Amino acid sequence: MNEAYKEMAGRLIVALDYPDAHQAKALLQELEGIPCYMKVGMQLYYAAGPDFVRELKTRGYKVFLDLKMHDIPNTVKGGAESITRLGVDMFNVHAAGGSEMMKAAMEGVDKALQSDASLRKPLVIAVTQLTSTGQDMLNQEIGIPGTVQDAVIRYAELTQAAGLDGVVASAQESGMIAEACGKDFVTVTPGIRPAGSDQGDQKRVLTPGEAIRGGSTYIVVGRPITGSEEPRAAAESIIKEMLNA
């Protein structure tokens, strides 16, 4: 396993979107040895809890805890402190919660780090607009005027000003985010679908290669791997496409 492969595999985040730990562990067995990130979202976390996150860390994986916190600043501060104590490598909040809420999340991280020198600072990122959000939904239902891209850039700039490390956005917006916030600002991009695969409920999608070429720092892939009859082969194929981008 060469360094280029390791580096690119580390930019692939596999979404463990399962209803229980048993099914998630079956996938881990299939992917054993691939040094990718693992994403634990609401469904799995609410079912398996922090112990499963600790198990992933024991197995040597980096973990993105995808709970999208969005609440009053003090509540998010407490949640961020607890998440940091759990030892995850990345977690997120909603940028729509505003700058004070995002700053409070960073205060929670700092509080945990100050109390335990063995902890490492996680990447803290903010959701701009979900990849299931289209133009009509943004304007007519959420009530935000302008284009989806305008809203994403506005939230990205707000996130950076609040001191966070990056954002969650569609890979279609990665280049614009880098232009607005700099190339060191992290972009985590879900809605990734290999060529020819089903888009499902995603609206703003790109292939793995397109995402990497466009400037995505990390790509999140769920169903094209977890729903595959050969998940290891699917993951390897995606990493190969990333390497060739």
Pairing of strands 37-41, 12-15: parallel
Residue 66 bridge partners (DSSP): 41
3-state secondary structure of 224: helix
Element (H, E) at 25: helix 21-31
Residue 35 bridge partners (DSSP): none
Residue 88 C-beta-side C-alpha neighbours within 13 Å: 30
C-alpha span between 168 and 183 (Å, rounded): 15
Rounded to whole angstroms, the maximal C-alpha distance in the chain is: 49
Structure tokens at 153: 């850039």
Residue 206 bridge partners (DSSP): 192
103 given a catalytic annotation: no
DSSP class per residue in 93-151: EEGGG-HHHHHHHHHHHHHHHHH-TT--PPEEEEE-S-TT--HHIIIIII---S-HHHH
Question: For residue 66, which of 51, 96, 46 has the smallest C-alpha distance?
Answer: 46
Question: Which of 25, 39, 62, 68 is flagged as catalytic?
Answer: 68
* Residue 78 burial by Cβ neighbours in a 10 Å radius (0-12, 13-18, 19+): middle
Active site residues: 68
